[in-house]
Amino acid sequence: MDLPVIDPPIFPRWVWIEEITYSHIIIATVINTLVLLAPIYEYIGLRRQDPRYDRLARGFVTFSLILFSPGAALGTGIPMWIMGTYPEFWSRWANLFFWPLVAQFGFFLGEVIFLFFFYYLTWDKLRERKPLHIFLGCVAATFTLSVQFVWDALGSYMLTPSAALPMINQPVAWAAAAFFNPGFPFLFLHRFFGNLSYVMLLAGGIFAVGALRTKEAEQREYWAFAARVTFPVGFLAFFAMPLIGWGYASVIQQHAPVAFHAIMGGHVSPHFTVKMVLAGTMVLLGTVWLFAGKKHLWLRLMVTAGLLLTLLVFLAHPPLRALTESRTVWTAGLAAIFTALLLFLWLAAPRLKDRHEFWQWTKLAIGLLAFSAFLIGGFVRERSRSPYTVYGEIVKPEVVEREADRFLFYDKCLGCHAPGKLKKPQAEDWRERIAIERRRPELDLTDEQAARIVRYLEDDSR
């Protein structure tokens, strides 16, 4: 069935949809994190009888409500753009997930009602009934998390579909196999801890700079307190991500092998490498600050455990082609780097002064690094399935010949060459090379497909 595809002005369609969705996702992830943590901080303040926690929790909710209007406006614009610029995808995708989309709309209404009417507006009225007020905040947080739960299920399906995408004239409305696809739990957990990490690191950095630039003593003390109770939370949450990410990568390797190679050794690997460099710089700066001035022993031990867990994950990770292709060099290099870092942290870093102005600006830089890694990570995941909108199911309308040929090249070559080993020498008679490869009985390659692969390789070698 042919549906009219609208060409947007000025920029290509993918630029428009990326900008709209990314803007919405940034706002939504900030809201989700702050709403989730608000009742937790309020509960800590109740137990410790410390009004600063209550003030911080209320500030979280107030800022979340400020973000709701632009977030909701962008969220409304997303389906409008998709309907016009990706009509077949939207018709088939919404057909498959009609009832989950209706459910998330109900969760969103519940979030708005409980967050604004039952939690925010009753803050002073229920001051003497704090347990009830905290419970209402938990209900609002549950609705918020439920919205993310649904969208992560629908989003993960686009990369690891476990059920066929129905045609427009095949009403489905709901499919458990599609909703609970293999990538769903990993994407949900990765985003959960990723949101918690980057939002709290960024918030902690802003609070730290606020304390530095505020002249009023009471206000300066509060901003310093807010930085102390947010920044470590974000930093410790980060260490869950490498382990979850490794599991997610394994699922992608199994169910979307072309996308996996695109990330590990193909056209998206430079972006993935940049993300890893940003995350590594963030970890380096953050660990030094958390050890400076002899912070609490339990905090230093948790950071050390997180670093060791990260090392184990990276040792199991295939070498990044942008860095090295040697497993020995990869393993030895990582072991040396982590060993040197741990020795420095325990022996030298505690002697540093942690209240110097440099460290307050450094915390803001760490938050910005985490935010940048978050953005690039989403781009890597979306870009890896090109030229498909839903991996293996439906191609995007603006697909170009080169993208389709590249996918075919990855798909056919992965059967014989491990990810990260697909070298493309500059001086090579690709037509002869492909002819030799076609003699392998396990390679099913038609004349038309062979010609497309040769065309892609020749163009890429120029």
Residue with tokens 């902690």: 204
Residue 170's pLDDT band (cuts 50, 70, 90): confident
Q: Judge if 164 and 290 occupy the same domain.
A: no
Distance, CA of 25 to CA of 30 (rounded, Å): 8
Mean pLDDT of 213-217: 87
Give which of 400, 459, 402 is closest to 13, Cα–Cα: 400
Strand pairing of 388-390 and 394-395? antiparallel
Q: What percent of the chain has pLDDT over 90?
A: 52
Q: Judge if 204 and 171 occupy the same domain.
A: no
Q: Judge if 315 and 228 occupy the same domain.
A: yes
Residue 321's pLDDT band (cuts 50, 70, 90): low
Q: Judge if 319 and 443 occupy the same domain.
A: no
Distance, CA of 334 to CA of 331 (rounded, Å): 5
pLDDT at 209: 92
Q: Judge if 13 and 76 occupy the same domain.
A: yes
Q: Judge if 157 and 56 occupy the same domain.
A: yes
pLDDT at 414: 65
Mean pLDDT of 348-366: 84
Query: 171 or 207: whose pLDDT is higher?
Result: 207
Q: Judge if 355 and 238 occupy the same domain.
A: yes
DSSP state of 355: T
Q: Judge if 17 and 160 occupy the same domain.
A: yes
Last residue in a domain, options 136, 159, 181? 181
Residue 287's pLDDT band (cuts 50, 70, 90): very high
Q: How far is residue 304 CA from its own chain's centroid?
A: 24
Mean pLDDT of 22-28: 89
Q: Judge if 148 and 286 occupy the same domain.
A: no
Domain count, the chain: 3
Amino acid at 56: L
pLDDT digits (tens, 9 = 90+) for 403-454: 888 888 888 876 565 544 555 555 467 787 777 777 777 777 788 888 888 8
Last residue in a domain, options 357, 392, 427? 392
Q: Judge if 190 and 61 occupy the same domain.
A: no
Q: Which two tokens stand for residue 150?
A: 């649904």
pLDDT at 327: 83
pLDDT at 336: 93
Q: Judge if 209 and 266 occupy the same domain.
A: yes
Domain that holds residue 449: 401-461
Q: How much is the pTM?
A: 0.90
Q: Judge if 239 and 118 occupy the same domain.
A: no
Last residue in a domain, options 365, 392, 419? 392
Taken as a whole, the chain contains a residue count of 462
Question: 43-57, 156-170, 320-334: which range is least confident on average?
Answer: 320-334
Q: What is the mean pLDDT of the chain?
A: 88
Distance, CA of 12 to CA of 264 (rounded, Å): 27
pLDDT at 420: 46
Question: 9-18, 108-117, 166-175, 198-207: which range is least confident on average?
Answer: 9-18
